[in-house]
Amino acid sequence: MAHQRVIVVGGGLAGLSTSMKLAEDGVAVDLFSLVPVKRSHSVCAQGGINACNEVARQQGYSEWEHFDETVFGGDFLANQPPVLEMTKMAPAIIDLLDRMGVPFSRTSEGNRDLRLFGGSLYKRTFYAGATTGQQLLYALDEQVRHHEVQGHITKYEFWDFLAPILDDAGRCVGIVAQDLRTMQIRAFRGDAVVMATGGNGLIFGQSTMSIICTGSGTARCYAAGARLGNPEFVQVHPTAIPGEDKCRLMSESARGEGGRIWVPKKKADSRHPNDIPENERDYFLERLYPKYKNIVPRDIATREIFYICEQGYGIGGGQMVYLDLTEKATGIPYEVLKGKLGGILEIYEKFVGVDPLIEPMRIYPAVHYSMGGLWVDFARDDKTGGMQKANPRNHMTNLTGLYAAGEADYQYHGANRLGANSLLSCIFTGLFAAPGMREYIKGQRPVAELSQRLFDGGVEQQQAAQAKLLNSKGTDNPYLMHRELGRAMSDNVTIIRCDSKLRQTLALIESLKERYQNNLGLPDSGMWNNQSLGFARACWDMLLLGEAVTTAALAREESRGSHYKIPDDLMDRHDIPLEKRSLPRDDGNWLKTTLVTYVDGKAQLSYEPVDTSLVTPRARNYGKVVAPAAAKAPVPEAAGAGT
């Protein structure tokens, strides 16, 4: 199979695991990355990676429990066979990573340590301090470098994916890409193409994501005919450092290791947090969720933080709460937490100038992850309930020969992702889908036999589009247009949503699209390392994705997971609790996957059923304690500090 080649776009964990597995199976790989592989956004993951092991199993945990937590945490919107397969394979993935040399944190006995993470009462999250993503990325990069030296993988760093190349039958047979230094545009043949380009957090302006996380790879496939799945489901992480340029993640591992979220019971309390006694603090997650406490799933913690601040109990009456890791709050010695959470503690101290083990962190939710992405298929195994191994359908989009993996696909997290499942899903998708790609290309005519005219045509099309951008003489700056988009998306399409604001956002996006096409002005028209050109392209991509997210959110008349909709007339009724204002989950009408297709310049919606063959959907509230109807204040002055 040496003459056959797969193109992998994206240098993060999903791209690396796919490339490694394909190379092991004898398939040549071209690996494309916007940045050096070791700078891919996967390096920013902090807290850990989920899997069952013998220690957790002795406590009553199992791969099935992990599966159930995942579909429950995702509010039952994920197809269950792929999730089951992922959780079954998780322990073997941990063993594999261990053998590769990942420096997992250890117990005093030398065993791989585990920590608590959201949505579970069991410790089932493996970790490497608070830099788990970095350690996994470096380990997989070493494997890819080995195959690169052997000639099995060719790496193209600082290359931008511009478009898939489709033959007359609609089969994906390659890509067009651009060298970001020389600006050369080239076509590359591929018997299959894998999109592993990550999420799209930048459409919200500020997020915890890197500046490269525009979703452009997904958008360019979407514009070429690939469907999106569930784009309306966007995760807002409960704990991040608000910033002018971006929001810096404070990992869920902080809460998993004992960190506690609280606000003063007195509104606009101006005292230093260390001077506020325990009985004058409201540990509101512990009060509302006495079973899960600070490790409720992210969508729930985010909304509770939003609501407590909406009521005026945020720090100084503003939009922040305390995340407390001090020994006074946690009872855990300074040096112990320093050893386990050093990575994130250094980030906080660097950007805020305060040691978070001495003074509580000030945090607020920020956009973090996209559960939606490119729609991908799967082949169910009726014997196991999981997926058929090495089936070409696994992870193929609706465009034949075009696959998606990692955060770029929609398959594993439903309406809300559990913390520490992202690293698992990225690595799992690459390892599991690669054998199916190998089987797919066995039955296809090699792309090496196709006419060169097809590939030259793809290059010419992109060169023409580039020339149009370079010759743009309008007055609309793409960076300012992006700022308008990001502000509207953050204000109207994140923690809580209502139809009037969604319609307002769609009207703005339509206006921005028209201005982009008729009045765009490019700040730089040079042909060497032109970053403005790349951002101008990405600005259009973000407009398309923003439209898809907002259109799907407007249509979904329910609240489910991260999608939390409130009727217009109740949107600003701060005297009514959020759960009393929101539309209820509606399994009868909305237990279905949103499909979005780009047709005639617009997002067109359709739907398909969700496979719930293994676990019947049930109520999802994590044991919330509901206050009496007569109680209007969310933080009773007499409430205890919690446990």
Buried b (16+ CB within 10 A) or exposed e, 524-539: eeeeeebebbbbbbbb
Q: Per the residue annotation, which of 298, 560, 581, 585 is the catalytic one?
A: 298
Expressed in angstroms, the distance from the first to the final Cα of the chain is: 60
Could you give the CA distance from residue 23 to residue 485 in angstroms, rounded to a whole number? 41
Which residue type is seen at 557?
A: E
Residues linked to residue 261 through DSSP beta bridges, in sequence order: 323
**Can you tell me which residue has the tokens 């946690």?**
330
- DSSP track, 462-516: HHHHHHHHHT-B-SB-HHHHHHHHHHHHHHHSSSSB-HHHHHHHHHHHHHHHHHH
CB contact at 8 A, 247 and 366 = yes
- Rounded to the nearest angstrom, the gap between the alpha carbon of residue 517 and the centroid of all alpha carbons in its chain is 29
Q: How many CA atoms lie less than 13 Å away from 578 in the CB half-sphere?
A: 21
Task: Give the whole-angstrom CA distance, residue 72 versus residue 617.
Answer: 8
How is residue 628 annotated by DSSP? P
Write the CB contacts of 92 (distance below 8 Å, at least 6 apart in sequence). none
- DSSP symbols for 70-113: HHHHTTT-S-HHHHHHHHHHHHHHHHHHHHHT----B-TTSPBP
3-state SS of the chain: helix, strand, coil percent to 5? Answer: 40, 20, 40
Q: What would the 3-class secondary structure string for 414-440 be?
A: CCCCCCCCHHHHHHHHHHHHHHHHHHH
Question: Residue type at 466?
Answer: Q
Identify the DSSP state of 270: -
What is the distance between the alpha carbons of residues 229 and 396, in angstroms, rounded to a whole number? 13
Sign of the C-alpha dihedral, residues 330, 334, 340, 344? positive
- Catalytic residue list contains 298: yes
CA-nearest of 584, 549, 552 to 566 is 584
Catalytically active residues, by annotation: 298
